[in-house]
């Protein structure tokens, strides 16, 4: 995959700009990076705090040619890439299904994959936000989020240094996903890196439904398996996962 990076001082949303350019024919590998987002978002339209130089705000245009049932694995592959990026930087992360990367129980990165119809076929806009510093966290997230600088106990880190490592691993895992055994390889490597793969007591919110149970691996398309208290298995295609503590 050939990578081309376009950099912005300030932008509404890197995902929106990548989607706009994809509709005008941008090739696979176009990356949009901004120093600040004024309308950064995560899943379900939630706000992603995007102050200037406080995070890596990164979106890439992908034009996958594999089976559509495996499109959801792009998010898992991105999670593995972020994990490996943080590991190389000296941090010990975890991946929470389906799109959060944590350090301890604190969120350090979020992933948002969105599909876009374009004249050249379906494109996937993969957005990744990684917290570089905690200094601009608003009070409502300060207790549940962390950053590279906080974890490494450093004064700062260059955005480009994180970006270069992320691009390396993202390219590797995306190319892996496209191979014949790619889906199984991605799931297996996600398993190795995530404590949420199996044996974790969680609460999953799916629309207005709440399900509690123990994680029991992933389906071939990346869906989460849960074993509920009555011993039955439930397959969750999409939802918000929260770890249950022993006192809950």
pLDDT tens, 141-187?
A: 878 999 999 999 988 899 999 999 999 999 999 999 999 999 999 99
Q: Are residues 182 and 210 in the same domain?
A: no
Q: Are residues 137 and 21 in the same domain?
A: yes
pLDDT tens, 51-90?
A: 888 899 999 999 999 999 999 999 999 999 999 999 999 9
Does any domain span residue 189? yes
Q: Are residues 8 and 46 in the same domain?
A: yes
- Its domain, for residue 22, covers 4-193
Q: Quote the pLDDT of residue 165.
A: 98
Cis bond upstream, residue 98 (ω within 30): yes
Q: Quote the pLDDT of residue 141.
A: 81
Q: Are residues 239 and 132 in the same domain?
A: no
Task: Measure the CA–CA gap between 204 and 211, rounded to whole angstroms.
Answer: 5
pLDDT tens, 208-223?
A: 899 999 999 999 999 9
- CATH code of residue 167: 3.30.930.10
Q: Quote the pLDDT of residue 45.
A: 60
Region of residue 44 (left: phi > 0; alpha: psi -120 to 50; beta: else)? left
Going by pLDDT thresholds of 50, 70 and 90, the confidence category of residue 43 is: low
- Which residues, in sequence order, are CB contacts of 246 under 8 Å at separation 6+? none
Q: Quote the pLDDT of residue 104.
A: 92
Q: Quote the pLDDT of residue 55.
A: 93
Q: Are residues 144 and 29 in the same domain?
A: yes
């Amino acid at each position: 995959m050939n990578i081309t990076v376009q950099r912005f001082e300030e932008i509404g949303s890197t995902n929106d700009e990548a989607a706009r350019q994809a509709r005008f024919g941008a090739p696979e590998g176009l990356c949009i990076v901004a120093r600040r987002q004024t309308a950064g978002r995560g899943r379900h339209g939630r706000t992603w705090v995007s102050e200037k130089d406080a995070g890596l705000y990164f979106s890439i245009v992908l034009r996958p040619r594999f089976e559509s049932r495996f499109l959801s694995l792009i998010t898992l592959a991105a999670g593995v890439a972020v994990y490996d990026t943080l590991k190389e930087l000296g941090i010990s992360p975890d991946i929470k299904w389906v799109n959060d990367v944590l350090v301890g129980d604190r969120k350090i990165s979020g992933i948002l994959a969105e599909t876009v119809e374009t004249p050249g076929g379906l494109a996937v806009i993969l957005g990744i936000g990684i917290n570089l510093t905690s200094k601009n966290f608003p009070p409502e997230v300060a207790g549940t989020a962390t950053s590279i600088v906080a974890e490494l106990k450093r004064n700062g880190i260059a955005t480009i240094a994180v970006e270069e490592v992320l691009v390396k691993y993202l390219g590797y895992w995306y190319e892996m996903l496209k191979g014949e055994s790619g889906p199984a390889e991605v799931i297996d490597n996600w398993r190795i890196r995530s404590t949420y793969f199996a044996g974790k007591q969680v609460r999953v919110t799916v629309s207005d439904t709440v399900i509690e149970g123990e994680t029991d691996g992933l389906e071939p398309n990346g869906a989460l398996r849960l074993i509920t208290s009555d011993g039955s298995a439930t397959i969750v295609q999409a939802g918000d996962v929260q770890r249950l503590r022993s006192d809950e």
